């Protein structure tokens, strides 16, 4: 049984547990090695809670309202209510300055997405870099579906419950996985975690908090049962646009990193020295290699 359990993020429905674990495990080991000044670590005691395929129907196609890809075609089935919500959330993420730029840009992009989204998508790309808008939209859709669809949420939560054994001392959540990990903590205050580690997290976003069952759980410091919470964020990550989580949970330790041209990448987050340092602090036995 693993000491560390990871909960993956969006757009993993076409992959599987073994494929993702093959990325997460070495990335975590790289982060630990970086934190230990290059000392070699064979592996970390890690398991992955994989739920991606639950976003597919019985034919293997994305369920309505749950596409989490990064192409314009993934936005062809937006319902009116969802369109309004994603527009509001995207405007919040872009900010006033970027929105003005998006409105003034001569080059018209995103011709295949709904007209109402084209300006804000250009604004998101201007603020965070090319492709940021579609990444943000994919995250929005799957986070929204997880929090709104009771049956899907129960199924995803059950996967995490099955993966997290009594021996688990560290829970790592990336992207949507940080919301799922937070929900595990909220639902299981009796489970003692030495560390909740969130990377590229949207937990501070207004649209996420509006849908969460209890967004203020643990807001007096830390959620019950959690010894420490470290949040790692690249300021160029459009999914983590809401900023430091310590504004909501005062005892969260927010850490900034630079993931280069792929700000939301799970492997880049997990392989960072700062991420490895948080793991070594929670699990000193990792120093033994």
Q: Please indicate, yes or no, whether residues 210 and 259 belong to a single structural domain of this protein.
A: yes
Give percent of the chain above pLDDT 70: 91
Is the whole model's pTM more than 0.75, yes or no? yes
Nearest partner of 7 among 125, 229, 184, 169, judged by Cα: 184
pLDDT tens digit string along 56-83? 855 445 554 444 455 666 676 777 788 8
Contacts of 73 (CB under 8 A, 6+ apart): 112
Domain boundary among 146, 169, 200: 146
* Secondary element (H or E) of residue 178: helix 176-187
64: in domain: no
Domain boundary among 84, 111, 146: 146
Q: Express the helix, strand and coil content of the chain in percent, nearest 5 each.
A: 50, 10, 40
Domain boundary among 106, 128, 146: 146
173: in domain: yes
Nearest partner of 12 among 159, 187, 225, judged by Cα: 159
Measured CA to CA, the distance from residue 137 to residue 242 in angstroms comes to 15
Measured CA to CA, the distance from residue 69 to residue 75 in angstroms comes to 9
Q: Please indicate, yes or no, whether residues 49 and 168 belong to a single structural domain of this protein.
A: yes
pLDDT tens digit string along 207-236? 999 999 999 999 999 999 999 999 999 999
Q: Please indicate, yes or no, whether residues 159 and 125 belong to a single structural domain of this protein.
A: no
Nearest partner of 196 among 167, 232, 243, judged by Cα: 232
Q: Which residues pair with 172 in a beta bridge?
A: 6, 197
Query: Structure tokens of 218?
Result: 């643990």
Q: Check: CB of residue 91 under 8 Å from CB of residue 120.
A: yes
Give the residue numbers spanning the domain of 265.
4-58+152-288
259: in domain: yes
Nearest partner of 160 among 144, 193, 184, judged by Cα: 184
279: in domain: yes
């Amino acid at each position: 049984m693993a000491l560390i359990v990871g909960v993956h993020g969006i757009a993993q429905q076409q992959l599987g547990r073994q494929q993702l674990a093959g990325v997460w495990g070495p990335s975590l080991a790289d982060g630990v090695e970086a934190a230990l000044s290059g000392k070699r670590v064979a592996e970390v005691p890690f398991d992955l809670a994989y739920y991606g395929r639950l976003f597919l129907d019985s034919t293997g196609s994305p369920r309505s309202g749950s596409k989490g890809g990064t192409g314009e075609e993934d936005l062809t089935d937006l319902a009116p209510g969802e369109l309004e919500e994603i527009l509001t959330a995207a405007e919040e993420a872009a900010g006033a300055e970027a929105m003005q730029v998006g409105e003034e840009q001569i080059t018209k992009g995103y011709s295949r997405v709904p007209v109402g989204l084209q300006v804000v998508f250009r604004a998101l790309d201007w603020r965070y870099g090319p492709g940021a808008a579609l990444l943000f939209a994919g995250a929005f859709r799957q986070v929204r579906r997880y929090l709104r669809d009771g049956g899907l949420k129960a199924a995803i939560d059950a996967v995490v419950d099955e993966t997290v054994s009594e021996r688990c001392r560290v829970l790592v959540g990336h992207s949507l996985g940080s919301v799922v990990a937070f929900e595990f903590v909220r639902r299981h205050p009796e489970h003692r975690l030495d560390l909740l580690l969130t990377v590229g997290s949207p937990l501070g976003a207004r649209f996420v908090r509006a849908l969460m069952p209890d967004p203020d759980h643990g807001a007096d410091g830390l959620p019950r049962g959690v010894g420490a919470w470290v949040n790692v964020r690249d300021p160029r990550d459009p999914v983590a646009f809401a900023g430091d989580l310590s504004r909501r949970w005062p005892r969260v330790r927010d850490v900034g990193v630079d993931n280069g041209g792929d700000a939301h990448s799970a492997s880049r987050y997990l392989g960072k020295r700062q991420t490895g340092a948080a793991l070594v602090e929670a699990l000193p036995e990792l120093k033994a290699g």
